[in-house]
Copies of this chain bind each other. A is one copy, B any other.
Amino acid sequence: KNIAVLKGDGIGPEVTDQALKALKAIEEVYGHEFTYTEALIGAIAIDVTGNPFPEETFKTCQASDAILFGAIGHPKYDNDPNAPVRPEQGLLAMRKSLGLFANIRPINTYKILANSSPLRADLVDGVDFVVFRELTGGIYFGQKGRSEDRNIAFDNCSYSKEEITRISKLAFEAAQKRNKRVTLVDKANVLATSRLWREVVKEFAKNYPDVTLDFMFVDNAAMKIIQNPKFFDVVLTENMFGDILTDEASVITGSLGMLPSASVGSKTALYEPIHGSYPEAAGKNIANPNGAILSAAMLLETSFGLSEEASLIRKAVEECLNQGIVTSDIQKDSKFTTTQIGDKVAE
């Protein structure tokens, strides 16, 4: 099995290194052998090649069975949407060219972290849902531009039945292994694309008689995530709504540093912690590596079908957490470093 390793910017390299330790420990315990190939991405790739997602990196990913990803983004490119090259363009180009059409974001809380949530502890204790966000369609990739006199700007949002069906399949399959409920989040009272989503998903759901499908408008979902996050099991939604709702959902857990994600395509899939490049912490050995380590667990389970191995990593992470072996984002006065936690989990 080939794993492409894209450490990227900011704290990306240091947290990815801890995830690699966990994967190597798994290789040892179970006698697997994985091959790792590093490649450049993001701001660092711009610095070296002028391109945030170089051809070389594309080829490495293309040839991989799975991609372990750190983070991209650098302050020198921040808040400058008119910069000629931006790291995010690399991200979007990567998603599109590798066909990573489904972003999967599990949202769950840990009892021991209940008090770090901005929400009241009773609301978040036991939250456990997963968002399937469509990642290569919608307004992100539609035609966009300006009128000739530059007075008007436009972005087109479009979806095809095929785009909706392929991610629905993943969401319904996940629901079957969970609590058997899918909530489609859309704005069908306003958008034609949302009405297509409803039509297609309603029809598609007939193949899964054991799964209950319900519908929710995106504005209601934004409220529900705060008021009653335990309501959700599997959330299915389009690209832009998914961008907003997954970020909203992650903060209610109180532990951005703990959350993994997957971006799945038909050929390969990419795994990354959701926390981003966090440049203020880069190089300080203080970043929480658990999001990256749990991304490695998702990789084993989702791309390689190694559920037992994935569970073992999750258990190791939880055990460290329960023993207070945590970084300072979790417990203010904690002195444990990124590498120490990586070592402990691997051990």
Contact = CB atoms under 8 A, between A and B. Distances in A.
Interface of A: 79, 81-82, 86, 88, 92, 118-120, 123, 139-140, 142, 144-146, 151-162, 187-196, 198, 215, 218-220, 222-223, 225-227, 240-241, 243-248, 250-252
A295 to B, nearest CB: 19
A247 B227 contact: no
Contacts of A140: 190
A155 B193 contact: yes
Interface centre among A118, A220, A245 (most CB of B within 10 A): A118
A81 B240 contact: no
Interface centre among A92, A189, A218 (most CB of B within 10 A): A189
Contacts of A246: 219
A79 B185 CA distance: 12
A115 B250 CA distance: 23
Contacts of A190: 88, 92, 139-140
Count of identical protomers in the assembly: 2
Given A81-B188, A222-B247, A152 B146 contact: no
A86 B192 contact: no
A191 B248 contact: no
Nearest to A119: B118
Contacts of A188: 81
Contact of A159 (B82, B152, B222, B252): B152
A218 B195 contact: no
B158 A153 contact: yes
27 contacts: A81-B194, A118-B123, A118-B226, A119-B226, A139-B139, A139-B190, A142-B154, A144-B193, A146-B192, A151-B160, A152-B158, A152-B161, A153-B192, A153-B195, A153-B196, A154-B157, A156-B157, A157-B157, A187-B240, A219-B246, A219-B247, A222-B222, A222-B248, A226-B226, A240-B240, A241-B244, A248-B248
